[in-house]
Amino acid sequence: MFLSDASTARSDKTLLAYRTVSQTVMDILGGDVPLRSITRPQCRDLLTKLAMVPLHARKRWPDRSALEAISLSEGQRFQTMSPAHLNGHMNKFSSLLNWATKEELIARNPALGLRIHDPVPPRDKRRPFSAEQLRKIFMAPIFRGCVDDENGYAVPGSNRPTRGRYWIPIIGLYSGLRLNEACQLDTADVRMVEGHLCFIITTASEHGADDKRLKTLSSERIVPVHPVLLDLGFEAYVRARRSANDMKLFPELSSRHGLYSHLFSRWFARFLVSCGAAAERTCYHSFRHSFRDACRAARMDRDIVMALGGWSSASDSSGSVSDSYGRGHSPAALFQSISLVRYEGIEWSTLADSP
């Protein structure tokens, strides 16, 4: 009932995560235990037991329960869940109990607030890319010339394919879009607004499709295309997609678990290794952190930064696209600000001159 509740929209990936957590929790608490009988001490014991479950236990012992996996791992040096991962399990379990409370199935949530201390501050979960990492990323063959943008993306060659694997990292760096926001773009989501080419970040579709997801309400927004993207020929790329009648801006990307970013994220992790830019706590989302730092370096107005990044702001929590047309910032003001985003050490001229 909880996962099928129509009042909450969840992606396939989120549903899979909830089911995985549910199975682990049932392994520990007992599959037949009634919700009404679950106590606070049981929830504390669940927290303790989750901290003992080896990583990838189901892959290692597919026919064994979580408790059996704990027993099998005794005396061995298997890695266990990180505090963030463990707390994520407890949060999902607590969400179920919160729902049960609202539905009057139980009187209160016995797992409320239960979590372990995470020594890594939230701002350090993901780091921005360093200047050297950015240089390595954008000097890689996929940007400077490769065999192809599939299996040959890391091999130097004479081809310069400009599809998703080329554009999406540049979009992340200069627009601050989340990975799935960029991967799921419809071709119609890039259009002129008051004289400026803009990304329209929205779940709406001109084709009536229901395949786009946003993280929060404030994620829905307008982001003008940065001058670097324009200089590299992004507008011509968009026109080519329209001429080809491609509904999706990056038609080669497919949705997996309800997200167009799923497979791209895995590829990007391999790409970072291939170009020597892989480092602890950096991933595609590090582009978003780099973008935020670049906005700070440009001394950009904070409300405009919040609007560009789709971050919630104390002065405006609605976050709808219509804000940019009425009481929000105009596309001209947003474009003027985003044009201030710069990064040292990246040579774009050779890319702009490429065929």
Assess if residue 308 is contained within a domain.
yes
Sort strands 190-193 and 221-224 into parallel, antiparallel or unpaired: unpaired
Element housing 145 (H / E): none
Domain presence at residue 1: no
> Does residue 6 lie within any of the structural domains?
no
Q: Is the domain of 85 the same as that of 132?
A: no
pLDDT at 321: 47
Q: Can you give the CATH number for the domain in which 130 is found?
A: 1.10.443.10
CATH number, domain with residue 72: 1.10.150
Helix (H) or strand (E) holding 90: helix 83-102
pLDDT of residue 197: 98
Q: Are residues 109 and 128 in the same domain?
A: no
Residue 5 belongs to a domain: no
Asked which of 119, 137, 169 is the last residue of a domain, the reply is: 119
* Same-domain pairing of 317 and 189: yes
**pLDDT number for residue 314:** 42
Q: What is the DSSP letter of 128?
A: P
What is the b/e burial string over 236-270, where b = at least 16 CB atoms within 10 angstroms of the residue's CB? ebbeebeeeeeebbbeebebeebbbbbebbeebee
State which of 97, 119, 141 marks the end of a domain.
119
Backbone angles phi and psi of 316, in degrees to 5: -160, 100
The answer to whether position 262 is within a domain reads yes
Residue 310 domain flag: yes
Same domain, 115 and 136: no
Does residue 151 share a domain with residue 93? no
pLDDT number for residue 352: 63
- Is 112:133 a contact under the CB 8 Å cutoff? no
> Quick one: pLDDT at residue 76?
84
- The 10s digit of each residue's pLDDT in 9-25 is 676 777 888 888 999 99
Q: What is the secondary structure of 155-198 as a DSSP string?
A: SB-SB---SHHHHHHHHHHHH---HHHHHT-BGGGEEEETTEEE
Residues 151 and 275 both lie in one domain: yes
Domain ranges, residue 79? 12-119
The per-residue pLDDT for 349 is: 81
pLDDT tens for the chain, 355 residues long, are: 787 776 776 767 778 888 889 999 999 998 888 999 999 999 999 999 999 999 888 888 988 999 999 999 888 888 898 888 899 999 999 999 999 999 999 999 999 999 988 877 666 668 999 999 999 999 999 999 999 999 999 999 999 999 999 999 999 999 999 999 999 999 999 999 999 999 999 999 988 888 999 888 788 999 999 999 999 999 999 999 999 999 999 999 999 888 999 999 999 999 999 999 999 999 999 999 999 999 999 999 999 999 999 987 544 444 444 444 445 799 999 999 999 999 998 888 877 655 4
Does residue 167 sit in the same domain as residue 201?
yes
Looking at the fold, whether 262 and 328 belong to one and the same domain comes out as: yes
Structure tokens at 185: 């773009």
Is 215 inside a domain boundary? Answer: yes
Which domain-ending residue is among 61, 84, 119?
A: 119
- pLDDT attached to residue 206: 87
In a domain, residue 3? The reply is no
One domain for residues 296 and 178: yes
Instruction: Tell whether 339 and 260 lie within a shared domain.
Output: yes
pTM across the whole model: 0.75
Q: Are residues 270 and 283 in the same domain?
A: yes
289 and 345 part of one domain: yes
Q: How many domains does the chain have?
A: 2
